[in-house]
Amino acid sequence: MCIANSYKKKTRSNRPVLDVQPNNSSYENALKQSLLWVPLSTMANQRVLPQSKETLLQNYNKRLKDDIKSIMDNFTEIVKTAKVEDETQVSRPTQAEQDHYEMHVRAANIVRAGESLMKLVSDLKQFLILNDFPSVNDAISQQNQQLRALQDECDKKLTSLRDEIAVDLYELEEEYYSSSYSQWNSTDLPLCEAYRRRDSWASPDSSSSSTQEDREDAVGTPSQEANAQHHVNGHGTTSAEKP
Amino acid sequence: MANERLKLLEEVEKEIAMVLQCAGNIVLELSRDKHNASFLDRQLVQFQTSINRVESELSAQIRYLTQVATGQPHEGSTYSTRKDCQMSLNRAEYAKVKLGELGRTCEAMLEQQQI
């Protein structure tokens, strides 16, 4: 291999076969060493210093340039190596074997550079998601707008439903609380009863009937049973007792 | 806007794969006894186009991030509006349940009266 390399220096370009770029693991170690993270709990006087975004972006730029250069150089050298030369300093099988090995290594370098570019794209995606504030703000405001529109529509429909049901509910309550099946106390008046009492208080002629109703309220269930004896259908007692 | 940039980066990934594929096709064609010159030219043009596009797109993205990034974490959130919307949907669901109960009660009463 040393002989082949020495011949290579004379005949081919001086481009080295092996890439001089560090692999990802050593690069990451260097990156970690450059970080100036100091735990606050250990050192009271020192602050936590994160890696600056400029350094990170310069790092991305360097990786991009190096990977593109590696792909171009290695591909160019493969194409040059593919040329068949008539005059060789070593025997043809030896030269062929050397060329074969060189092409393998350069192809591996191209694949490694491509893999490194994919990793760079992944890092850029992550950086974009975390630090592209204009797009994050747009996404948040758009989401907020959609959620508010949905909430407003839901509340509007509930309000219209409430207005429609209020009328029917009044009639239902009137029917229910004037029947023998209702069980209510004076502190929890239904809507129809509250309106009726307001009307009865307004007219003095119905004061006796109102007091009688109060006594019935105080008694509770036995008074309802008594009312049921007077009225077969179970309708309201107030209608019969009102003058 | 964010989705467009992420989609652009996905396109770049496809271009990188295209670069490697073109390089492989060229080497494969060179390994044959008789080369197809037009095929080689097409693959070479594709290779050069793809690698130039990869470099230009990634450089543009890094330039944009240099202008936009602040290094601080983003503290925006949609939690409050999401919670309000959830409560509104819960109100609607509760009203639906109660109306269902009322409807069943009325139907039961009507059936009893018919009997």
- Find the distance separating the first CA and the last CA of chain B, reported in whole Å: 67
**B38–chain A nearest CA distance, Å:** 16
Q: Is B95 near chain A, with CB under 8 Å?
A: yes
Q: Do A71 and B19 touch (CB under 8 A)?
A: yes
Does the distance separating the beta carbons of A148 and B66 come in below 8 Å?
no
Question: Could you read off the pLDDT of A93-147 as tens digits, one per residue?
Answer: 899 999 999 999 999 999 999 999 999 999 999 999 888 888 889 999 999 999 9
C-alpha span between B82 and B89 (Å, rounded): 11
| pLDDT recorded at residue A228 | 38
Distances (CA, A) of A191 to A171, A195, B82: 9, 6, 36
Q: Model's pTM, two decimal places?
A: 0.59
Residue A187 — very low, low, confident or very high, per pLDDT cuts 50/70/90? low
Compute the mean pLDDT over every residue in chain A, rounded to the nearest whole number.
Answer: 71
Start-to-end Cα distance in chain A:
125
Among candidates A82, A109, A100, which has minimal Cα distance to A16?
A109
Q: What are the DSSP calls for A217-232, one per residue?
A: HHH-HHHHHHHHHH-S
- pLDDT for residue B86: 96
* CB–CB contacts below 8 A, A to B: 136
**Beta carbons of A110 and B99 less than 8 Å apart:** no
What is residue A162's DSSP assignment? H
Task: Assign A35 a pLDDT band (cuts: 50, 70, 90).
Answer: very low
CA A222 to chain B, closest CA, distance in angstroms equals 23
Q: A53: which chain B residues are within 8 Å (Cβ-Cβ)?
A: 69-71
| Model pLDDT for residues A64-92, shown as the tens digit of each residue | 999 999 999 999 999 999 888 777 788 88
Most confident of A197-201, A209-213, A238-242: A197-201
Report the gap between the CA of B37 and the closest CA in chain A (Å). Answer: 14
